[in-house]
Amino acid sequence: MKIQLALDRLSIQEAIAIGEEVREYVDWVEVGTSLIKEYGMDSVRALRNAFPEKTIIADMKTIDNSRYEFELCYRAGADVATVMGVSPVVTIANCLEVALSYNKEVMIDLLQVSDLHFKEISTFDKAIFCQHLSKDLQEDASNTLLDKPIFKNEKLNYAVAGGISRTSFPEIMNMNPKIVIIGSAITQSDNPKQAAKFFYELTREKGNCT
């Protein structure tokens, strides 16, 4: 189980500073959508340079213009880029095609994906599927990350994202995702290093370190 640090709503300098502080306790570093939309590919290049040893994931949330956007990301140094699962199937297929040609990876964000559409796109089994409770949906505390068809499909690699906290973390770990994506529980913590260490050590204690 890997820990992906989501860096959002920060300047590039702040993102690098937090990443450096928690470096030893995270595996993947995500350039958040807000950084990309505010600073463009400079944000991906800066985090690539600052963290050469990490897997860099660009949260592009591509929904169209797939080849162009994915080439932008990979050329800027990203190892993984995200596409919205609600996109037309051709969009997701294009992303995987570009990823293959760059020897890189694709994460499919399942936000708003219907069970029917999930069935259709779950054939893209080279991708990582991200079960995602969006920031906006987190405004209603009754919304939940769990109880989704993704967790019943044992053939797929999946990630989980969306307001994961110290409290909800054990339940998330029980689902055994490949990647747990954590943002504000680290970046907005009074002590980001201690927070990252908390999550990291729990994953290692469980022996889920692959």
Binding site for a copy of itself (CB under 8 A): 8-9, 33-34, 36-43, 60-61, 63-66, 68-69, 72, 84, 86-88, 90-91, 94, 111-112, 134-137, 139-140
Q: How far is the CB of 136 from a copy of itself (least distance, A)?
A: 4
Minimum distance of a copy of itself from residue 46's CB (angstroms): 12
Q: Which is nearer to a copy of itself, 66 or 203 (CB)?
A: 66
- For a copy of itself, give the closer residue by CB, 37 or 166: 37
Cα 187 from Cα 175, distance rounded (Å)? 24
Pinpoint the alpha helices (H) of the chain. 12-22, 33-39, 41-50, 66-75, 89-102, 115-121, 169-174, 184-187, 192-205
- Round to whole Å and give the CA distance between 171 and 174: 5
Q: Quote the distance between the C-alpha of residue 183 and its chain's center.
A: 10
Closer to a copy of itself by Cβ: residue 133 or 186: 133
Give me the least distance between CB of 112 and a copy of itself, in Å please: 5
Min CB(65)–a copy of itself separation in Å: 5
Nearer to a copy of itself, 87 or 131 (CB): 87
Instruction: State which residue, 65 or 194, has the beta carbon closest to a copy of itself.
Output: 65
DSSP 143-158: --S-S-GGGG-TTSEE
Torsion of Cα atoms, 89 then 95 then 97 then 103, to 10°: -150
- CA-CA-CA-CA dihedral for 148, 180, 192, 28, to nearest 10: -140
Nearest approach in angstroms of CB 205 to a copy of itself is 32
Nearer to a copy of itself by Cβ, of 91 and 203: the residue is 91
Nearest distance in Å: CB 204, a copy of itself:
30
Identify whether the C-beta of residue 56 lies closer than 8 Å to the C-beta of residue 81: no
